[in-house]
Structures are given as C-alpha cells and as structure tokens.
Chains A and B, each alone.
Chain A
Amino acid sequence: MISQSLMLVQISLRNLLASKLNLLIGGLLLMGTFFFVFFGALLDTLSDSMSKSVVGSVAGHIQIYSSKSKDELSLYGSMGGDPDLTAITEFPKIKAALETLPNVKTVVPMGTSAALITSGNTVDLTLERLRELYKQRDGKSTNPSAVKLSPEEAAKQIESQKGHVRQIVKVLQGDTEKAGVMLDESKTDADAKAALTKVAGDEFWQNFEADPYASMEFLENKIAPQVTDGSLMFLRYVGTDLDTFQKSFDRMEIIDGQRVPEGRRGFLIAKFFYEEFMKLKNARRLDKIKDGLATGTRTIAADADLQRFVKENSQQTRELVLQLDSIKTTDAVGRLQKLLGDDKESDLGTLLARFFTMTDENFAVRYAWFYSDLAPLLELYRVRVGDTLTIKAFTRSGYVKSVNVKVYGTFSFTGIEKSPLAGQISLMDLMSFRDLYGYLTSDNTEELKQLKANTAAKDVTREGAEEALFGEGTNNVVAEATPGLIDEKKELSGVAKILRQEDLIRRVYNQKEIEGGVVLNAAVILKDGRTIEETIKQINALSEQQGLSIKAISWQQAAGMLGQVINFIKGLLLGFVAVLFLLAMIVINNAVMMATLQRTQTFGTLRAIGAQRPFVLQMVLIESVVLGLVFGAAGMLLGTIAVAVVGKVGIPAFNDYLYFFFSGPKLLPVLNAWNLLVAIVLVLIATTVSTLIPAINATRVSPLAAMQADE
C-alpha cells in the first residue's frame, strides 16, 4: 500500500513538469499562497500594532457605554460629530461588578468630547500683561502667584509693554497701507483706520498715563480685533480619572511638565497636538525641516516641501515681530545683526526674513542658534505648561459653559509619539469634564444642597406642584414673598467662595468623588488581551443579569471608522486571494479535464492491466494535490522569505497617519503560523475540489481505451 502511494506520488511529481499548463496552475497557486501568507502577515501585524495604538492610547481593550444611548460610541469622533451617549450614573456599581470578572484588570471612567478653544491674540496677551502690571502697581492685583516687583522695575516693564503695543500698531499700519494699495480705499474700515492712526500718534501715548485703564480698554476694543493672529483650535479630549488612567495606560509618558497631582483638576495636552498646533509656526517649520533632513534622503535644495517651509518661514515673520516688545526687539535685532554680520540693517522683519532664508549648508547652525539665542525671547507655545486653559463647550442642554483648567504638562504614548490620531486626544480630569457638560459634580451637588437649605426650597412632587405653588395648604407663600428677603450675597457666600476657580484648581478630590458622578463611557483593561470577544460576552451577560444597562464593544468598534479600516483591507485581501483561487480552480478544472482526455490511453491501460477505479481516482487527485503542495509550498516559502526580509528592514511610516497604524516609525511584519496553515488548507481544498470532477471522469475511462492504437 505504501509502495503504491509512493509510486503514485512519484508519478505525479514526474507529471508535474511534463505539462506547461501545470506551470500556469502552479503559478496561480503560488501567487495565491504568497499573497495570503505575505499580506496576511502584514495585515495581522498591522492589526496588532493598530490595536496597540488604540488599546494603548485611550480605548483599552473594551469600551463600555450606556445601552440606552442613541448612537454608538466612537472615540475618534464620527462623520456626524460626537455620538449622542446616555450618561452612566452608577459608575462605581458597574466598576465593582465588572471587576468581579476574572479577566478584567481595571475599569477607567471616561467621557470623550471636543471643543474649540481660542488662544488670545498678541495684543490681548500684551494688554493682559500690561493690565496686571498696573494692577500690581496700584495694589489691586488678585493674582497670588505674581512676583512682587520694585516700583522702578514695574515702571520699566510697563514702558516695555507699551513699546510692544506701539510696535504692533506699526506693523498693523504697514499692513493697512499694503491693503490700501490692493483694495479700494473706501472698502477698508474707516473707523478701524482712524483708531489705528490715533494710536500710532504720540498724543495717545502721552495721555496714556492719565487713565491707563481707559486707554487699555480703547486698545482692547479698537486695536485687538484688527490683529488676526489669534486662532481657534479644535481640541479633542477625554475626561477621565487621571490617576487610574495614568496607571492603566502604561505607555503614557509625560514629556513636559508633570502629572496632574492625585485627585486634582487639571489638563494634559497631547504632545503631538501641542507641537503641531500650539507651537510658534516658524519654530514648528524649523523642526519639520530638521526632521526632513534627518532622513538623510531629503535636502532643502531638492525637496519641494522643505523649500516651501523655508519660504513660508522667511515670509511669515510677523508673528515673531508682534510678539517682541521694544526691549526684546532691540535685543533680537542686535543678536541677528551679529549672526548675519550686518550692522546696518535694523529692521527686525527684514533681519528675520534673511535669517530664515536657510540652505542645506547653514541650516544646522541657524537651527541651533534659533533655539539658543532667539527662542528665549519668544513665546514658543500659545499655551505654556502652568497656564490656565479656558475651555468652552455646549452642554447637553445647549447653553455654553466654560471651565478653567490648569495645564500641568504634555504627554505622549511611547511608540506612537508621532501619530496624529493618538496625538490628537488630550486629557482632562473628570470633574472639569462634568462641569463642562452640565453634569452634576460633587461640588455643584453640594452647592445645590446648600442653596436649597438656605432658601428653604424643598422638593415638590408633580402631583403636589399646584398646591405647593398656589398655597391651598398651610403655607401662605404669597404673604411671605417680601422683596429683599433673600440676600443673594449671603445665600451664595461660602459655597460661591468654594466654587471660585482658583480654589477648584487647588482642591483635592477623593476617589469616591471622582467616580461618583456621571461618566459617558469607560475603558475596560483586560489581563489577557487575546480574549476580548469572550470578555465582551461576559460583560454583556453580566449587564443583563444585574441590570447595569451597559453595552460592551471591542476597541476596534470603539475606534469607529478607524477600527473598520483594517477589516476593510482584510476583506480586500481575502477577496483578492479568493479571486486568485477561483481562477486557479477554473484553470485546474479545465486543465485536468484536458489532461484526462489526453491520457485516456494511460488510464485505459492501467484499468486493463488491473487497476480498480478508486486507484485511478487517487492517482488524479494525488497529482493535483502534489501540484498544489509543491507550488503552494513554494508560495509559502516565498511569502515567508518576503515577511522575513520586510520584517527585518521594516516598512517605514512615511506619513503621520501610518505612524498610528504601525504603532511606531516602522511596521515589522511577523509571520503568523496560522496563516501558513490556512494557506495550505486553502490550496488543498482548491485543488481537490477542482480536480474531483475530472478525476471521476478519469475513473470512467474504459480499459478498452488501452486497445486504441497510438498514444
């Protein structure tokens, strides 16, 4: 029996190269297995690294949200804006329940949203500093962290800030003149122009000290709106229990500043976002040029993008000019003159334009000089670590609410620092988040309680509302409603004081307070990330059983469209491989059919000399299977080699989004044994199925066929 099979295998091996058609079939099978193994490995690795990016940055393995929600949770936002989620009010109960599941490590409460924040423009910022200086001089300052200045120092700084404003006015006047040349004179706003002329004149500044506050108000109202460098920024953030978050997402790393102290309110800006959107644009462009040059393949001389950065830098120096007050301007001019070896040119804008006109030769020196000599004079970031950020958002009921949160630092996730998707999401404490969206926090619950107590308000049921309001009962409300009876100041004292933002920033919340309020969703971190689907089932079952009203979804679903991308690509690959195999099957079917016809005499002979039908069936099938195995194995081998080579070299993330998908600068595909197995099984199925009919036909060849003359 073994000898028989060996002989059959030998026959098929020798028949393999006998026909050119076999080579075509083999080629198709080879390609199919190659694609399956190579791209399968690529996609699996991609899926893995993407899961690292998503799971490791914000999603956790599983996300839960209220099952009563109208929309599905989508962490990175979706087409129609933020999903409409019903708030989870009993988070501690849910957390406790979920943590009884063996695979659940921890549950991190969250709320994801986005808001527009405006960074004030240069005039606003300068005037704010000026106002603070005057307040200090006049002993009216409310800023506890202000440094006490000597009267001489204060006067000097006031003069410098005023000089700064005058410089801004000069730049603005230049702009208006340029605009006047291009536009019809009548189109420019006469009022704005008059204000500018007034402020540009000496008279305004001579009279400034007479009423500095009025003068500053004039500047704020008439000049600041003309400066257009302030910008709106779309900030996406997750409100979360920062302590648990920092502990659970261990790839998170503080880059600037520090962690938000335990239990405090605070904000951490994603480093990528901080660099990309909050940094001084000229500095950001210098960084990008440096990154470009660091690849070793790009040069300013040859790369259009780098040239564009250089051009934009030398043309857009206004932001820098506006930032510098008169003292700093003189300083900067001096330093630039020295660097450029030109002591005649004294216009800062011209000097900067010349400085930023960089070439491959002088870039390294000028880049270093920018950060060592010029940057200390500038505000490199619109928001500094330690600043308080005002975030405005629409609450769920539609009114605008704003909170002030202190920025403690910036952070990124190791491995995906450059990813714009992971780097888009900043972090906020849950209390501020709840405030911002009009949910009750422990603070305003307390406030409400005190208000109720002080105003003798009481809960009224719907049924009893009429009676309570119109006084059928013992309380004669009308008689007691004397004007001035409620002293607002008195009622709100205490609570109002506690609620002052400064104090809120310093307040330390305990875990019960943090978890006790509303959350929108929560990340479930698992001990074993491989059994996500199973755990989702357990969570959903638990929710059903205990009436938790939550729904669990995988990180992939939570990532919304992003998570589907990988499935989409996988589908494409499978489709492609399926088409290849289908094609192979059709060709195999035809080829074997033809081969059977050609070999009628052989089959007849075999039958005549005593081979039973199953033997012939075996013979044809084994031939196809051997064909499949040989070329399939070749395809697998090629695929394996390709994976190994690419796995060593890596596919570079040539754009920032790939950084996220690759979970790092390179994708290093790893071979998946499962893919090899599936590939070979597919090949075997394809060859067997497509050969079955011709093989059965071959068994029907009569031994009489052997008697026909000539092969």
Chain B
Amino acid sequence: MLKFTEDHEWLQIDGDSAVVGITTHATEQLGDIVFVELPDVGAEFAKDDDAAVVESVKAASDVYMPLDGEITEINEAIVEEPAKVNQDPMGAGWFFKIKLKNAADAEGLMDQAAYEAMIA
C-alpha cells in the first residue's frame, strides 16, 4: 500500500512496517541533494517529529515522521551518496524503515491520486 503525506514523504506500507522516502516532486523542488542525515535505528518518534534532514544547494529541510513508530533500518547508501535520492527517490533513494505503532493510522494518509492532485 503506497501512501503520501502533505510534507512530500511516501510510505510503502506492509502490515505494521513501512519504508519511507521523499517524493519525486520533493526532489525536484530541492534540486541536487548534497547531504542526508538519518536517525538512529531504534529511535522512536511521534508523527510529525523531525526524523531526518535533507540538504540541497538550495534548501535544507526536515523529513518528518509520517506516523508514530520506531526506526528499524536506515539507508546508509544515501548518506554515502546523496545523489541516489535524486536518481531514484521512490526506490533506491529510500530513507528509513519504521515499525508502525498503529498500522490503522495509515488510513489517514493520502493515496497516490490524492497526492498527485495536491501537487498539481
């Protein structure tokens, strides 16, 4: 199940776990990404907490926790090579994986059609 937030994050949800990244639209707005800072594995965040930082030459912005949960895995590859986020934002450029506190919360997020309508 693919979901989106208003802050331009995507979540690929599978049961009570999810992969999180930033959308293609977000990477286009940011331009070339030069730095990514990821949270520690095991860290717990509430929805909308600052979980990660992404910097391009134009902007620095926070990546928010899309739902309450715990970080289970992070994508070290994008820390080593931030350009990966620009190259494949919805795939190899994922940020972190989370274990959702309440899987049902995902219902409140946008689906792809709603997100595309929002950015149109």
Q: Do A and B bind each other?
A: no
Q: Which residues of B contact A (CB under 8 A)?
A: none
